[in-house]
Every structure is written in structure tokens, then in C-alpha cells.
Copies of this chain bind each other. A is one copy, B any other.
Amino acid sequence: MSERRVRRATIADVAGLAGVSTATVSRVINHAGTVAPETARHVRAAIETLDYRPHAAAQVLARNRTNTIGLVFPEISGYYFASLLRGIAGGAGTYGYDLLIYSAQESATYRTAFQYPVGEQNTDGLLVFTDGLPEGELRRLHARGFPVVLIHWSPPAGLEIPSVTTENKASAYRLVDHLIGVHGRRRIVFLAGPEEHEDSHWREKGYRQALEAHRIPIDGALIAAGGSDREVARATVARLLRDGLDFDAIFAGDDDSATGALTALLEAGRRVPEDVALVGFDDIDIAQHLNPPLTTVRVPVEQIGREAVGQLVHLIRTGEADLLTLLPTQLVIRRSCGCNVVH
């Protein structure tokens, strides 16, 4: 197919047709200043006739605000991401901001420029998910006083950048405590995420504290890589099983990993939870549909997204925001831990 483009109407065209000045048209568009009802009607009629849309860039230039929020993240994947984006898109909509997104994974190929595709030049503020931006860029933005809010990670040392995340440590503690206290498990595997994954770090802390509280010595052999990646978790658990490691439970770090761990367990003929209890973290949509349904911690992902937008908008408008927002979680007991719940 092929198209011929139609010339777009400008504010001057509208003004001409309505027999008023561009200033008046602008007032009508923005519901600003005072315009006689009759005049306004003419203007609106002209807008309709010409199918006029204010040119966004021209407005931005004149107003000196973009009315746009930028979102940066390292990679797009999984249920978790979709929920977070839903919250962010919803929040942006609520506050009347547009959403410009940039995923770091796409960059390498073509970015030779000296700038990120999203930043001060095209947004009023940035939301950065986990380690979406290198420290240098973060420092630069901070030095310029450009509004930034972090999601699911903390600023580098010395940078006072607000961040929004969830109560990882205490929740992990409760989860592992449940495994030990209620189900008598003592050889609990923890699948740790990558170094830079802060959530995993705090969850491991909670895991360790729970063991200590029950006077169970920490066994390094039980802590293995696999958090935050389904396939890695699957491979890791398969390996532990092959190696004949003795364990009676797995805390998978997150639900995605739990999924992989479950597959490995079933493939090896282990019964869950009879032979090995399994718990995750996040409560992604699929958790309740696993077989057995997964015991986990519900993270209010969508709400985290909304809250982050709220903090950012506040920062943009007032220059102020809470340095740390910690959203509460909830233990979700299903069957994979050994409980026998009707759900």
C-alpha cells in the first residue's frame, strides 16, 4: 500500500478560520485565561473542521516542560515486568504524563551518540528499574538536579536519589521461618540471583536470619546460583539433585526461579512438597496455577509502579520526594510448602 500525507493544520490556520488571534486559540486549547463563550465556540468549530492537533514539540518548546516521564530498564521479560509496567502506565495516565520507554537491551547496536535516548532532553523525569542506568549517568543527572526515582534498587553511595521497593528481608524471613517452624525443614536451598540483583541480596539476608533464629548453621553448599532466571534455576536444581546434595526444601529467590526449580524436581521424580518443599517470592500470576500451587510472598508489583510514578511526579513538581518507599508484602500460603490449603 502507499500513502499521501496531508498537511497538518497549525494554530494559525485555526485562528484564521475562526477570525481570532492565535493567542485566543491557545487560550481555548489550554482552558487558560478568559475567552468569551461565543468566541470559544467558533474556535472549537474551526478546530473540528480542520482536524487540528496542537504540535506537541512546539508546546514543549514554548512551555519548557515535556509532560513526559521516561522509563529505563535493563530487560523486558516475564509476568513481573508486565505488572510493573501496568502500574507505571496507569500512574502516568493518572497524573497526565506521557510515557517514553527505553530498554537497555536495544542500545548496543546503534547508539554511538553521547547521550541516552531518554533523559533531560526529552522528559521531565526518569524512572529507573534495577540497574538500568550506569552509575556515571546517574551521577550526571543527579548533579544537574534532574528528577530521578529508582525502582527496586538503591542509589550508589553518596547519591540521595529516592527509591521505591518492597520489604524483602522481613518477608524472606517469615517465609523461611514458616518452612522451619511449621514444616520442620532444616536443609533449605536458597537460589541466589546475580550480584547486582539487590532484591536477592536482601532475601538471602532474611533467609540467613531465619536459619540463625532457629539455630540452624548456614551451609554454603545450600546456597546456589539460580535466582531470577527460570532456566538457570532449573539447571542448578538438576545439578544439586545429581550431586546427591541432601536438602528438604528450596527457597527459590523468586517465582520465576521456583518455576524452573519445580520442573527440575518433577523431572527427577521428586515429589513436591513431600520430598522437597518449595517456596518462591513475588506471587506472579502463574504461581497459583502451578502444580502444586506455589507458596510465596505477594509483592504489590503494580502498586510499586504507581507509587514510583507518584514519587517522581512529586519530585518534578515540588523538588521533594521520600528517599525510601518500602511497600508491604503478604505471605501467601498454598501447597508447595507442605500446607494443605483449599484455595
Contacts and interface: CB of A to CB of B under 8 A. Distances in A.
Interface in A94-141: 94-96, 98-103, 105-107, 109-111, 114-115, 117-122, 140
A289 B68 CA distance: 39
Contacts of A234: 289
A266 B291 contact: yes
A86 B146 CA distance: 27
A291 B290 contact: yes
Nearest to A288: B263
Interface stretch (A49-57, A173-181, A184-192, A237-245): A49-57
A248 to B, nearest CB: 20
B4 A319 contact: yes
Contacts of A40: none
B288 A121 contact: no
Contact of A147 (B3, B89, B103, B286): B3
A86 B101 CA distance: 11
B99 A144 contact: no
Contact of A291 (B56, B75, B291): B291
A290 B6 CA distance: 52
A4 B289 contact: no
18 contacts: A1-B162, A1-B320, A2-B320, A3-B145, A5-B146, A53-B115, A54-B121, A55-B61, A57-B57, A57-B60, A76-B89, A77-B285, A79-B79, A93-B107, A94-B109, A95-B110, A98-B117, A263-B289
Interface of A: 1-6, 8, 47, 51, 53-58, 60-61, 66, 68, 75-79, 81-83, 85-86, 89-90, 92-96, 98-103, 105-107, 109-111, 114-115, 117-122, 140, 143-147, 160-162, 230, 234, 259-260, 262-263, 266, 285-286, 288-291, 315, 319-323
The 10 tightest CB contacts between A and B, nearest first, are: A93-B106, A57-B60, A56-B122, A5-B145, A76-B86, A57-B57, A53-B121, A3-B145, A89-B103, A291-B291
